[in-house]
Amino acid sequence: MFWTNIEYFNEKEFACPCCGRVEMNDNFIYKLDAIRELADVVMIINSGFRCYRHNLAVGGKPTSAHRYGYAVDIKTFSSRGRFQLINAALLRGIPRIGVAKDFIHLDVDPNKPGSLIWTY
């Protein structure tokens, strides 16, 4: 019943498109829910959990945090929305942020170095 405690998302949003598995880290989902509330922006998940096969198909690295439920890519619509999302992520302790033209990657992989923001 974990997902009943999540206000802004549902399990299907994080499912691997190829196999339907949803193996997201619970603490990360709680953080994302808090980020959504604080940022007050629409957060559409472009990519959540990825199985090995799907990660390979989209060109993901073999050690991608998506494979372990520690990462999401969130569609962005405007510069202001990007700012609000990044600001909320930082305030909620997200240690790894990737910024692309049309999405933000948020990542809490404990096996990777933190305190990073990069661009694509």
Report the alpha-carbon distance of residue 68 to residue 66 in Å, rounded. Answer: 5
pTM for this model (two decimals): 0.95
Q: pLDDT tens, 1-17?
A: 588 999 999 999 999 99
Looking at the domain assignment, is residue 3 inside a domain? no
pLDDT above 80 for 119: yes
Q: Minimal CA–CA distance to 90: which of 30, 46, 39?
A: 39
Q: Which domain holds residue 105?
A: 13-119
Looking at the domain assignment, is residue 62 inside a domain? yes
Query: Which CATH number goes with the domain that contains 54?
Result: 3.30.1380.10
Looking at the domain assignment, is residue 105 inside a domain? yes
Looking at the domain assignment, is residue 1 inside a domain? no
* Residue 119 DSSP SS3: strand
Number of independent structural domains in the chain: 1
Q: pLDDT tens, 14-30?
A: 999 999 999 999 999 99
Q: What is the 8-class DSSP label of residue 8?
A: S
